[in-house]
Structures are given as C-alpha cells and as structure tokens.
Amino acid sequence: MLRTPGQHGDETSSPIKGLIGSGPAMMEVYAMTRRVAASNASVLLVGETGTGKELVAKAIHQLSPRGSGPFVRVNCGALSESLLESELFGHVRGSFTGAIANRTGRFEAAHTGTIFLDEINSTTPKLQVKLLRVLQEREFERVGDTETIRVDTRVIAASNRELLDEVAKENFREDLYYRLNVVPIYLPPLRARREDIPQLVSHFLEHYNEANDRYVVHIQKEAAAALAKYHWPGNVRELQNVVERCVVMATGDELTLDLLPPAMTGDRPTVSLPGRGGDLDSLARDLVEQGMTTAGPDDENLFDRIVSRVERELIAQMLADCKGVQLKAAARLGINRNTLRKKLQEHGLEEAE
C-alpha cells in the first residue's frame, strides 16, 4: 500500500492500492490502469522480470466491473505444452495417461472474471492457435473432448520480452499479438524510476519488520546512497529480497552498508587458496601456473572449470569468514540460503563445512 501518495489533480493518475511509487513513470501506469479497468478490452503488460506485472493485472481486475469475480493466474513459462494446454482448457478422463478424472481448466474457472497469462511469450504455436480462438470466439474444448464450452473471461497477458520482436522472429503469431495488444501498458524498470526507491524501501522495511519481529527503522546515509545508485537488474523483486535480507541480518535498528550484497557496495570479497594466501588475482595466477588458462584441443569446458573453481573457493572463504553461518554467508554473497545449499552440494563443501 502507498504510504505517501503524491498530490495530483488528475484522479485517473492517483495512486492505486497495492502499487507503490509516486514518480512520473508510475503515475502514467496508474492512469492507464484506471482507464482500461472499466472496459472489457484485452491488456498486454510489458516489462522486465520483477517490475510488478501481476500486481498491475490484479489492480485492473479489482477496479473493473469484474472485480467480484475470480482472478486466475497462469504462468505459461512454467509448464510444458501438454501440461499447459490441460491447465488452461481442462481435460476429460482418459484423454491421456494420468487423466484419471475430468478437470476444469483455468479459462473455465475464470468465467465472469479475469485470467492473467504470465510469460505469454513462452507459449508454443499450437497453444497460440487455441488462445486465438478463445479470444475471438470465447469458446474452446477440453483436451480429449468434443463438447464446446463458452466462457465470459477477460484476458490480461504479460511478457518480459517485446512481442513484436518475437513476431518478427516467427516465434509468436501476429494475429494473436494484435488480439492481446488492444491496450498495452509498459511497466518501467526500477532504474528508470529511482525516485520511488525510498518509498519502496520504507514499505518493505515495515513489512519484514512485522514478519520477523524486528525493528530496523533507520537507514544509514551510505546505504541509502548505494540503494539509489545500484542498477537493479532484478527490479522491485530484487529490492524486496535485499531489504528482507537486511532486516534478517541486522543486529540493531539500522540498515547499514555492510548488510548489502557486495555487488551493491563495490566490495571485492577476498578468497584464500588452499596452501597459499591471496585474493581473486592470486587465484588467477594459480590457474596460470597449473596451465588451466591455455585450452588444449580436447578442453572444451575450460571456462566452466575455471568459474566453478573460483565459485567454490569464494563460497568456502565466505563460510569461513561467517563461522559457518549459512544465512549470513548467503546474504554477503547476494544469494538466498537455498541457492547456497545447492552450491555446497555441487562443490562437495557440505562435509568441509
């Protein structure tokens, strides 16, 4: 929820519950969201991963006359073609191996409401044909069935790629693109709306303080500067994760520079090699001495081997510096704890730890 809404004369660009930001880029998003919500037009949300496309889709649904109906989300990039087809349109018993009962699809479940198709760019040509029919005719058949089902469902789609480029590459149907792109809304990356960062940080601090029973309410000047300067490739989602990590790792009531991932502070973690001291430059020299920087005719995985060794030494040193505390080591490495655990398994560091 917005904590400090800006003063704007145009009601259509006023802040929307659930969306955070009061800069000009977000004001435009608010205006487009309110205007399109009252209609039944299909909407295409375009933006990088982590920019909040699902939040905008929910806002459109909640502000629309369909707000009391269901809101159904489908991640098209998370399922294979066959599973996604069954997920979207349902299936009848016996239509394929494992289909032990009839199943209602997401389009049918979203009747009188809204379906949000995330990562629509991941769909296959076969599914794109069926999606086009639903958009045009508002009807479909379940997998393995001949009965036609009619639905009244609004479609909001999202893509983290420019769909016109995918059309040009013949990866996406042009007719489906124009059916989806009735009203496009572009969600700016966080680096294009840095003025919203303090407001976002404040919101996430409040949320994660409450969730973790903490009281991190101050932000060190240097930390605030680093947050404002960072390029945020993961956008708002990355910022959210960073703030959560800082709240968990803080020992006092202040978010300080040392709590931020090294990539944000410009720090260069030191790595000591077994049997010799040194940093990453020392590691490079060590690899040269071992002849690993010169690829032989059969050495096709040279780069992977070098990167793997650097990663192993970095993780081992960071764990040692953090006295084996995985949560702290993961925070300093800028990864989550589950990722660190996987890396420990990959590099055989579990026993060493």
CA torsion angle 8 11 17 22 (round to 10): -20
Q: Percentages helix, strand, coil for the chain, rounded to the nearest 5? A: 50, 10, 40
Tell whether 65 and 136 lie within a shared domain. yes
Task: Take residue 328 and report the two structure tokens written for it.
Answer: 């702290």
What is the rounded CA–CA span in Å between residue 27 and residue 20?
10
Tell whether 134 and 25 lie within a shared domain. yes
Please give the tally of structural domains in the chain: 3
Task: Take residue 34 and report the two structure tokens written for it.
Answer: 């309110």
- DSSP for 133-181, written as a single string: HHHHHSEEE-BT---EEE---EEEEEESS-HHHHHHTTSS-HHHHHHHT
Kindly state whether residue 165 falls inside one of the protein's structural domains: yes
CATH number of the domain that 108 lies in?
3.40.50.300
Predicted local distance difference test score (pLDDT) of residue 341: 80
Tell whether 72 and 174 lie within a shared domain. yes
Kindly state whether residue 31 falls inside one of the protein's structural domains: yes
Tell whether 220 and 141 lie within a shared domain. no
Tell whether 293 and 231 lie within a shared domain. no
Q: Are 302 and 308 in contact (CB under 8 A)?
A: no
Q: How many other CB atoms are there within 10 angstroms of residue 263's CB atom? A: 12
Query: In a 10 Å sphere around its CB, with 0-12 CB exposed, 13-18 middle and 19+ buried, how is residue 140 labelled?
Result: buried
User: Nearest Cα to 63, choosing from 36, 41, 45, 44?
Assistant: 36
Task: Take residue 269 and report the two structure tokens written for it.
Answer: 């973690």
Domain extent, residue 299, equals 268-353
CATH number of the domain that 331 lies in?
1.10.10.60
Tell whether 243 and 275 lie within a shared domain. no
Kindly state whether residue 293 falls inside one of the protein's structural domains: yes
Tell whether 74 and 90 lie within a shared domain. yes
User: Nearest Cα to 235, choosing from 186, 185, 192?
Assistant: 192
Tell whether 31 and 180 lie within a shared domain. yes
Q: Tell me which of 155, 188, 221 is where a domain ends.
A: 188
Kindly state whether residue 250 falls inside one of the protein's structural domains: yes
Kindly state whether residue 33 falls inside one of the protein's structural domains: yes
Q: Is the pTM value of this prediction over 0.75?
A: no
Kindly state whether residue 26 falls inside one of the protein's structural domains: yes
Mean pLDDT, 10 residues at a time, the chain of 353 residues: 39 78 93 94 94 96 96 92 88 68 88 96 92 93 86 95 90 95 94 95 96 94 95 94 95 94 70 46 54 50 70 82 77 73 79 50
Q: Tell me which of 228, 245, 266 is where a domain ends.
A: 266
What is the rounded CA–CA span in Å between residue 301 and residue 309?
12
Kindly state whether residue 247 falls inside one of the protein's structural domains: yes
What is the rounded CA–CA span in Å between residue 248 and residue 281?
32
Q: Tell me which of 172, 188, 204 is where a domain ends.
A: 188
Kindly state whether residue 5 falls inside one of the protein's structural domains: no
What is the rounded CA–CA span in Å between residue 91 and residue 83?
10
Tell whether 98 and 137 lie within a shared domain. yes
Within its chain, how far is the Cα of 91 from the centroid? Answer: 30
CATH number of the domain that 217 lies in?
1.10.8.60
Predicted local distance difference test score (pLDDT) of residue 13: 62
Q: How many other CB atoms are there within 10 angstroms of residue 35's CB atom? A: 15
Tell whether 144 and 209 lie within a shared domain. no
Identify the H or E element spanning 340: helix 337-346
Tell whether 226 and 331 lie within a shared domain. no
Tell whether 64 and 212 lie within a shared domain. no
